[in-house]
Chain A
C-alpha cells in the first residue's frame, strides 16, 4: 500500500510499504477513508519529539471501514464505518476503567523511553514516535488498530465522514479542554490557539455554559472562523497586548478559565507585547540548542492573565522541560492546572450526539481534501498555515 513516511526533520515522503496484518487477537484492520493532519504532527515533523525513526508512518486522526478483525474483536463487524481515537486504550487497566484512556498502562509496547523520561509510561498513540509506542499511523491505505473494541467507534447514520473524522482527535481534545476547565455559569473562557483543537475548545466551552469565549491567534482566517463558526470574540496576539486586552474585556478580573491549544511550539513574536520579543528569542535559542525542549510562551501568558483562583486547562502538547516557569504567580494566585492527552473514548458517544442534534459541526475544520500522494505538500501548507488551511485531510 501507499503510506506517508517520516524520514527526518521536514522530510516526508509517500512510499510503498507492506499492508498491515492482524498481529494480535484484539486487532482490527481499517481501510482508511479520511485521515487528517493535526498540530501534534508538526511537533514530530519539526523534530521536537525525539524517538522518531526514519520510515515511521505518521497520521492519527482518521475514519475508515473495518475490513478485517482478530478473533477476540466482538463489537465490530466488517463493513462498519468507524472512527478510531488517536490514543490507544487497552480497555482493561485501572486507568481505562476510570476513563483515563490516554494514561493506559498496557497499550505502549515500548515503555522504557517514557519510564526513563517521565517516571511512568502512558498510552500508545498512532504515528507518534517510539516513545509513544511506535504504532504505524493512518496516512496510509490501511491501518492496524490494537484493542479495536475499545478504540473504534461506529459512526451514526446522521453523521457525515467529514464531521466524524475529527471525532478521532480534534473534537474530543477541545471538548476535554473545556471539560477540564470546569466551566460555571458566568465564566469567561480564553482559548490560546485557534487551530482545529482551539476551535473545538471554544465551541465546547459554549456547550458547557460559558458566558463569553475569547479566541487568541494571529491568523486572520482562523480568527474569523473562531468568530463565525465557534461564536467567540477574538484577539490577534501580533497586534494587541494580550494581558491588557483580556483584563480590559473582563473588568480587570482576567478569564476564569484559560485553555492552551497551542503547545510546545508557541510563538510570542509580538512586538507590542512587553518583553515577549526577547522572551521569544530566548526560548527559540534554547530550544534550537536543545537546552530547553519546549517553548512555554503561552503557559507564562496564561498564568499572568488568569483570574485569581482560576483554572488553566492545557491540551497543547509539551514533551519535556521548560524554562522560567512563573511558579510564584501560579502559586500565589492559587491557580488550578489541569492537563493531559485526550481521553477520547470517554467523549465519543456524547460528541456524536451533539453533532446529530446540530449543536456541533466540526466539518468546517476540513478546509482541504487532498489525495494521499499530495500529503507532503499538504503538510507544508498546514505548517505554514497557507491558503487559509485549518486542516487538510487526505483521502487515500
Chain B
C-alpha cells in the first residue's frame, strides 16, 4: 500500500478522509477510538505512521498537531489480536519461516539468519532511513508461542511475543502479537520515538491481518491497478474530493 516518495502509491489524503469520516459519524467514533487506542489519527492511517513515514508522507500540517501530543506514551506496548480459521501448527510453521515475514511487515527489507537463535533485521524507517537491529529468540514453544528481544545497539529496541491458541468452537486459532518498544532516548531520539511510539499498534494489526488473509484465502485483497476516472487525469493532479467538500 505504501511505497517510496516517488512511487506515488500511497492513498493520498487518507488521513483527511478518515478524519472526515469520523467527524461525520459524530464525536462518538472519534472519542471511542481515541480513548481505547490512543492516537486514533495514526492508528487509523492505512499502514500506520511508520509506513506513512516510509512513504514520505509529510508530517506537517494538521496531522502533526493533532496526532503527536497523544503519542507520548513510552515505552509503548502494543497488542493485536486476530482469529484465523487455520490450525495453529500451520500458522506457527508459517511464522517460523522468516522469509514469510516481509509479506507481513512491508517495511522489512531483509532478515538474515545468524544462528539458531539470532538474526539480523533490516527495515526502512521514516523517509527511507535504514533501521537495523539484531534479534534473539527467547522462547519457542512448538505451535504455541515465540518470543524474542532485540540486542544492544538496535535502532528499534523492542521485545516481541506471538502467541497461538486454539479458538473455541472450531473457529481456528487466536493469534496475539505483542510488541514492547523501548524508544531510544535523548533529544535526537525523541523524534524517532514519537514516530515509532504510535505506529506499532497499526503495524501489529496490519501484520496479523495480512497473516490471516494469506493463510485463509492465499491472497491479499487489492484495488491497486484497477481503473478509475483518476488515472486519466493523472495521478499527481488527482485530488481527493471530499464528499461534502
Q: Which A residues are within 8 Å of any B CB, using their own CB?
A: 1, 3, 5, 7-9, 13, 15-21, 23-26, 47-57, 72, 90-94, 97, 105-113, 115-117, 124, 130-131, 133-136, 140, 144, 146-147, 290-293, 319-321
Interface string of B164-197 (1 = CB under 8 A from A): 0000000110000000000000000000000000
Q: Which residues of A lie under 8 Å from residue B222 when comparing CB positions?
A: 23-24, 109
B17, A106: Cβ atoms closer than 8 Å: no
Knowing A116-B22, A321-B26 are in contact, say whether A130-B17 is a contact too (CB < 8 A): yes
Q: Which residues of A lie under 8 Å from residue B70 when comparing CB positions?
A: none
9 A-B pairs closest in CB distance: A55-B229, A5-B229, A55-B230, A54-B241, A320-B25, A17-B227, A109-B221, A321-B26, A47-B243
* Minimal beta-carbon separation of B10 from chain A (angstroms): 12
* Minimal beta-carbon separation of B78 from chain A (angstroms): 15
A56, B228: Cβ atoms closer than 8 Å: yes
Q: Which residues of B lie under 8 Å from residue A144 when comparing CB positions?
A: 226
* Minimal beta-carbon separation of B236 from chain A (angstroms): 13
A23 is contacted by which of B18, B22, B218, B225 (Cβ under 8 Å)?
A: B225
* Minimal beta-carbon separation of A2 from chain B (angstroms): 11
What residue in chain B is nearest A4 (Cβ atoms)? B229
**Number of inter-chain CB pairs below 8 Å:** 169
Q: Tell me the B116-162 residues at the A interface (CB within 8 Å).
A: none
Q: Which B residues are within 8 Å of any A CB, using their own CB?
A: 11, 14, 17-18, 20-26, 28-29, 33, 40, 43-46, 83, 85, 171-172, 202, 209, 212-213, 216-233, 238-245
B231 is contacted by which of A17, A115, A131 (Cβ under 8 Å)?
A: A17
A321, B25: Cβ atoms closer than 8 Å: yes
What residue in chain A is nearest B241 (Cβ atoms)? A54
Q: Which residues of A lie under 8 Å from residue B14 when comparing CB positions?
A: 112
Q: Which residues of B lie under 8 Å from residue A17 when comparing CB positions?
A: 227-229, 231-232
- When chains A and B are docked, how far (Å) is the Cα of A108 from the Cα of B212? 13
What residue in chain B is nearest A57 (Cβ atoms)? B228
A94, B83: Cβ atoms closer than 8 Å: yes
Q: Which residues of B lie under 8 Å from residue A117 when comparing CB positions?
A: 21-22, 25, 29
A sample of 13 cross-chain residue pairs with beta-carbon separation below 8 angstroms, ordered by A number, consists of: A18-B231, A24-B219, A24-B221, A54-B229, A54-B240, A56-B229, A72-B218, A94-B171, A106-B217, A113-B17, A140-B227, A290-B23, A291-B26
- When chains A and B are docked, how far (Å) is the Cα of A147 from the Cα of B232? 27
- When chains A and B are docked, how far (Å) is the Cα of A103 from the Cα of B216? 15
- A50-B25, A134-B223, A292-B26 are known contacts; what are 11 more A-B pairs with Cβ within 8 Å? A1-B227, A23-B225, A49-B243, A50-B24, A93-B216, A105-B212, A110-B223, A116-B43, A146-B221, A291-B26, A321-B25
B21 is contacted by which of A23, A55, A56, A131 (Cβ under 8 Å)?
A: A131
- When chains A and B are docked, how far (Å) is the Cα of A267 from the Cα of B17? 28
